Amino acid sequence: MHHLLGAYLLGGLEPADVSRFEQHLAGCADCRRELDELASLPALLDALPVADAVALTGPASAAPATPEATALGAVASAAEPAALLDELAARRRKSRRRWAAFVGAVAAACLALGVLAAPLFNQPPRPDASYSVEAPGGLQVQLALMKKAWGTEVSFSGTSLPTQGTLSLWVKGQDGTEDRACSWSATPGGRSRITGATPTQISRISSVELRTEGQQTVAVISMVDGSSGAH
């Protein structure tokens, strides 16, 4: 019955065999001692199916017919747990290496996907309308309008702008109303980039004007006839 110790520990015996082995275990101090020594074995099998672990014990051998064979069988049986533990440890290490390689591959794939997809997801939304103004003196203005539920988002950028005072963008409606979308302090380099807002819907805007602090018009972009210019 000693050769069933491994299968008993791993839960690989039929119910009838379990009953017979437990009866043997009650009267065999050697089996009980060895069972205690192998109590931690199931923890080593978390990466292996039970059937594979049981297979490692090898087929049960026939009962020895001579004292010499009995002694030899006892030595072989005593060596089985150590061999089993060594084989399980080796398989566990291989399983860990395979798992580490798998995790590494998945991480690399996710990283590659993130790198490739980042430009797609990080692209700013396309404006609903865009305009530009260029003047002989070097002034350049770009304007982008985007529809919103509450009105219109106004994105402005420009170069060779006035370098002193306060600048502002004014939105003129088709009904004659005016609304200041944004204002900012001029920069020494004459470059500015800013985003503003107006409650006027994009379809109701007639023009957008860039003005100085003294309300002097620097540039006008018309949405009605498509004309634009700098002053």
- pLDDT greater than 80 at residue 159: yes
Across 63-72, 181-190, 222-231, which has the greatest mean pLDDT? Answer: 181-190
Looking at residue 84, its amino acid is: L
pLDDT confidence tier of residue 84, bands split at 50, 70 and 90: low
Taking a C-beta distance cutoff of 8 angstroms, is the pair 158, 139 a contact?
yes
Q: What DSSP character marks residue 65?
A: S
What are 126's strand-pairing partners? Answer: none
pLDDT at 207: 94
- pLDDT greater than 80 at residue 56: no
Its pTM stands at 0.47
Percent of the chain's residues with pLDDT above 90: 37
Q: What DSSP character marks residue 202?
A: G
10 or 197, greater pLDDT: 197
The length of the chain in residues reads 231
State whether residue 55 is helix, strand or coil.
Answer: helix
CA–CA gap between residue 134 and residue 141 (Å, rounded): 7
Can you spell out the DSSP letters for 17-37?
HHHHHHHHHHT-HHHHHHHHH
Taking a C-beta distance cutoff of 8 angstroms, is the pair 170, 205 a contact?
no
Domains in the chain, ordered, with CATH? Answer: 2-119 (1.10.10.1320), 129-230 (2.60.40)
pLDDT at 113: 52
Contacts 24+ apart (CB under 8 A), 74-80: 74/2, 77/2, 77/3, 80/3, 80/6
Which of 72-76, 85-89, 184-188 shows the lowest mean pLDDT across its residues? 72-76
186 or 225, greater pLDDT: 186
Which of 155-169, 189-203, 217-231 shows the lowest mean pLDDT across its residues? 217-231
User: Measuring CA to CA, how many Å separate 196 from each of 52, 171, 188?
Assistant: 68, 10, 21
Q: What pLDDT digit, counting tens, does each position of 87-120 carry?
A: 655 665 665 565 456 545 545 554 555 555 555 5
Q: What DSSP character marks residue 126?
A: P
In terms of DSSP H, where are the helices of the chain?
5-9, 15-26, 29-37, 50-55, 67-121
CA–CA gap between residue 130 and residue 157 (Å, rounded): 12
User: Measuring CA to CA, how many Å separate 190 from each of 141, 163, 167, 193?
Assistant: 11, 5, 11, 10
pLDDT at 87: 62
- Please give the structure tokens belonging to residue 93: 């290490």
Looking at residue 171, its amino acid is: V
State whether residue 218 is helix, strand or coil.
Answer: strand
